[in-house]
Structure 1
């Protein structure tokens, strides 16, 4: 949404950016360009996802701990395509966070001080205001017109989940969720699926309709037989706005 920075400048009004992710996340995204310039990203081939390459230590990432590895970066670097839309979007948006007059971030100093100090060194004034969800709970009275709930879920809720969880022993269920953006091949999905089938634990699996690139997720009948009785699989449709 950084087009708003130019719009604010054009009409001569102050502009503050709201960064809703973490300070550590921003510093990692901001290092994507350096990873590309150093030849660490994109991956040479998909084999590097599994052969230990992601254990490569990346020194000198401002605000982040020593020993930070490629696997610790947000997963949009795990592509073999230099033109990957999310990789390039995040390189662009992190660089453009220098353009507003101030940056408001959903965190607090005691949680992420090293990363916040690193942000302060390269960005306009940075103001912490978080966790935002706790502010909403404290400031919005229950039952008021503003009390409509706050969440980032883009998908419809599925009935029966709580009842299914309540039927299981405490701390016995594995939760598997890929977020709202990640996509994978059907081969990668199958590898996840058999890993879940073979571990023996009950699991809650969130499978979006668009999770698999260019196709619907297809799981073989023998997988369904292997997990019978110990899975709650959530397949939803995107929420209508």
Structure 2
């Protein structure tokens, strides 16, 4: 579809409308450039979905400012390790005093692909400022101040998340069969969790695209083993870049009664399980929001892009997470896992996460939740646009 012309795409919609009901609204990813002109051609309103956290959108919007101030791009690759990225910036509204290291990585422009992504992002953001509605997978009580800042540049900004909770609370369960999965889930892990004590398991999952090198894999392995805590670890076949995943036999033997390894799982069911006390995550927005909405504190190991911003907000603004150094070491992994599950900081973060969980549940509950109300605003606004 991405390679089709606007006329071809319009034809697809026209044919679909003769078989089913006519197209009355277009909901598209924020970065799909043809969404707005297509909606205009069809004569229907459009809503654009920003799939990351709202904080990352504010940071993307500051790319020009960072470049004009000479803070980016990096002058030399050594700036990645010489402390330059520790510089704190204080001109981003609602995200005060964020270090450069937590700005989405593309603006560093060390490689040709990064420069392309900067220009692509800047053009998309300027283009989409003309949109009549931007929707976000978040809820007002979590990011109210950031949403207010975004509303200064975009019109009709609506938080309608967490989307998975909104779905669970309000959507017909018979539609469950149409869901798609990136990987085949292994349900046996839920039975394994049933055998564990409450809040005793650290869940480890670095998402669907993050990769690591063999040394990092080994450090995570031995860090988990040294913590002596129970763990459920999702290890994709392609988790190690350019190589197959080979876990040390000694690690497998040492942790056979403490850990469980699976290739994929039903993350919502895992995070909502009473035995799960923490989440070691790459900090993608879906994982971050799901962890918050189930009251599970995190250990963050961000990889690139918005994951860095999500990590900073989780650790410093919402105070529901600890960060692990990118140059991961087993002693640090062990220390943070123990602290998260059993330490005083872990207890405080769990309290904060539980408070946000309650707010997420309230936001997605019919009829008075903030996200439910925002979704109705979206529907009513689009209906009025259609009538006009």
Deviates more, 1:199-208 or 1:8-17: 8-17
Following superposition of structure 1 onto structure 2, how do residues 98-137 of structure 1 map, counting pairs within 5 Å? Answer: 98-137=129-168
Structure 2 residue aligned with 1:230:
258
Deviates more, 1:22-31 or 1:181-190: 22-31
Following superposition of structure 1 onto structure 2, how do residues 63-142 of structure 1 map, counting pairs within 5 Å? Answer: 63-64=94-95, 66-70=96-100, 72-73=102-103, 81=111, 83-84=113-114, 88=118, 93-94=124-125, 96-142=127-173
SS in 2 for 1:146: helix
Structure 1: runs of 5+ lacking an equivalent:
none
* Deviation (angstroms), 1:205: 0.9
Equivalent of 1:38 in 55, 63, 71: 71
RMSD: 3.6
Structure 2 residue aligned with 1:146:
175
Equivalent of 2:198 in 170, 183, 193: 170
Structure 2 residue aligned with 1:14:
45
CA distance in 2, matches of 1:45, 1:69: 17
Deviates more, 1:100-109 or 1:79-88: 79-88
CA distance in 1, matches of 2:178, 2:185: 14
Larger radius of gyration: 2
Structure 2 residue aligned with 1:203:
231
Structure 1 residue aligned with 2:13:
none
1:97-146: CA deviation from partner (whole Å, max 9, x where unpaired): 3243321222233321211111111223312323333332343344xx43
Return the TM-score normalized by structure 2. Answer: 0.49
Number of residue pairs aligned between Structure 1 and Structure 2: 231
- The structure that is helix-richer by fraction is 2
Structure 2: runs of 5+ lacking an equivalent:
1-28, 266-388
The answer to whether the 8 Å contact 2:131/2:155 transfers is yes
The answer to whether the 8 Å contact 1:209/1:236 transfers is no
* Deviation (angstroms), 1:155: 2.0
The answer to whether the 8 Å contact 2:47/2:135 transfers is yes
SS in 1 for 2:152: helix
Deviates more, 1:102-111 or 1:165-174: 102-111
The answer to whether the 8 Å contact 1:203/1:230 transfers is yes
1:163-198: CA deviation from partner (whole Å, max 9, x where unpaired): 211222221111111112222222222222222222
The change in CA–CA distance for 1:29 and 1:201 in structure 2 (over 3 A counts) is farther
CA distance in 1, matches of 2:115, 2:258: 37
SS in 2 for 1:16: strand
* Deviation (angstroms), 1:32: 5.3
The change in CA–CA distance for 1:168 and 1:146 in structure 2 (over 3 A counts) is closer
The answer to whether the 8 Å contact 2:233/2:262 transfers is yes
The answer to whether the 8 Å contact 1:183/1:211 transfers is yes
1:8-65: CA deviation from partner (whole Å, max 9, x where unpaired): 34555432202233322322344456556623669826973xx86665433222321x
Return the TM-score normalized by structure 1. Answer: 0.74
